[in-house]
Amino acid sequence: MPVICMPNCAFLSETSRMIAVYQKLVEIGTPVIMATHGGTYEFALIQEGIPYQRIEPFMTEEECRRHVAAIIQVKEGYEKKSALQHVKAEIAFFNEQNASAVITGFTLTTGFSARSAGIPLVVTHLGSYVPPIIEARLFTCAEYFDSFFTSLIPDAWITRLSLWLYTHFILHSKTSNFVADSLHIERVRSLDDALMGDLTLITDVPEILTIAEEVMEAWRPKNAKLFRPTARLKYAGAIYAKLPGDVPDRVLAFLHTDLPKIYVAMTSGYPEDLELVYKTLENMDVRVVVCATVHKGALGNAKNILVADFLPSHLVMPLCDLAISYGGQGTIQTAIAAGIPVIGFPLQPEQNFNLKQVERHGAGLCLSRRSLRRGLLATAICQVLERGSFRESAQRLQKWQSSRDGPLEVAKIVSALITK
């Protein structure tokens, strides 16, 4: 009875997480099958030499773009009929494979298919953005909501309102209810309920998140209207992309300098943001490597900036002094693993939280997209590069994060779950 790993290949972060978990499950001898509806980053599975099953319907590039946009704009990622087709195909696949559990990387349809098939659902895609964070009042999102209008409102009010919306808003409610009603299973109760699994694995460490392990594992849902009573949480550890291949020679040569070196990873966002970052950096006495993916054509030809399509970030970041990102957990954790500080501009609340955690520990700065448009990035870069305390704090986080092998912990936890 194999475990099924199901990444949403519209996202590199979720594809790479499932790759790492799959490899560890194979390593410890747990039967496992990689399966996906396909998508933009399906090629990563091929690069890693991982055999996988493609489940119809296959995701088109347009659908992948819709999924990425849905995260930023809080919109429906699936159309109703398409979502139901995905779920029914997954149910048939799980039954055909006699699956023992499903681990997903943001393939949200598995929330319905796994429960309909009667097998445990394990998720890693929430990162550290879990209910105890809200309950401990660690969550803030002022940078995400930053505008002229919100600048007139106290940050505490904005956070309080956003927390209420977070706990009561149902993501994909129309689509989710349509699918649930069609399958005659329970509807989604809240945003958390839509994103969480039977077991939600926190891809972080207690020292960085500042919530003790025993507290996290003892958490139980307090409001039955918002959470399934069986939902459980457990720490696993960091999981971030380790793409195959070496650092290209041209990148190594470019970074062979005494000048400050900056790595820019802003791939799943707005091209105009990357253009603003580019224009800021081309006028600074630094060397910059930009991982641009789909945004490559929107940039210029500055001599101090090298633009590449895809790079093994876990190998490039240790060669740099600073990372600039939207604040996705994978990029943040790659920077922490390299022991370098981060400056970020969150596109959504989860990214805001990731960056604020880094800022609280003194290892970076969380800025708003509005501050980027107002030309404040250059000052922030100088501040981080000139103060050694940022690098020292990043290295402290590096030590904490390296205490756990996240993918191996996930593999062990899932193996224990299916052998109970």
Q: Give just the sign of the alpha carbon dihedral 395, 203, 175, 98.
A: positive
Q: What is the pLDDT of residues 120-179, one digit of tens each?
A: 999 999 888 888 988 888 877 767 666 656 666 676 666 666 666 655 555 557 788 888
The answer to which of 83-87, 167-171, 396-400 has the lowest mean pLDDT is 167-171
User: pLDDT band at 388, cuts 50/70/90?
Assistant: very high
Domains 3-237+404-418 and 249-401 share a fold: yes
The predicted pLDDT at position 144 comes to 66
Q: Are 233 and 206 in contact (CB under 8 A)?
A: no
Q: Are 340 and 363 in contact (CB under 8 A)?
A: no
* Mean pLDDT, range 380-406, rounded to an integer: 97
Pick the residue with more confidence: 347 or 394? 394
Average pLDDT, the chain: 89
Q: Kindly state the percentage of the chain with pLDDT values over 90.
A: 63
Q: Are 353 and 342 in contact (CB under 8 A)?
A: no
269/91 Cα distance (integer angstroms): 32
Q: What is the pLDDT of residues 208-243, one digit of tens each?
A: 999 999 999 999 988 777 888 889 999 999 999 888
The structure tokens listed for 311 are 């790079």
The predicted pLDDT at position 161 comes to 65
Q: What is the pLDDT of residues 92-124, one digit of tens each?
A: 999 999 999 999 999 999 999 999 999 999 999
CATH number of 249-401: 3.40.50.2000
Q: How is the beta sheet containing 232-235 ordered, strand by strand?
A: 52-54, 32-36, 3-7, 101-105, 121-123, 199-202, 232-235
Q: Any idea where the domains of the chain sit in the sequence?
A: 3-237+404-418, 249-401
CATH number of 3-237+404-418: 3.40.50.2000
The predicted pLDDT at position 191 comes to 75
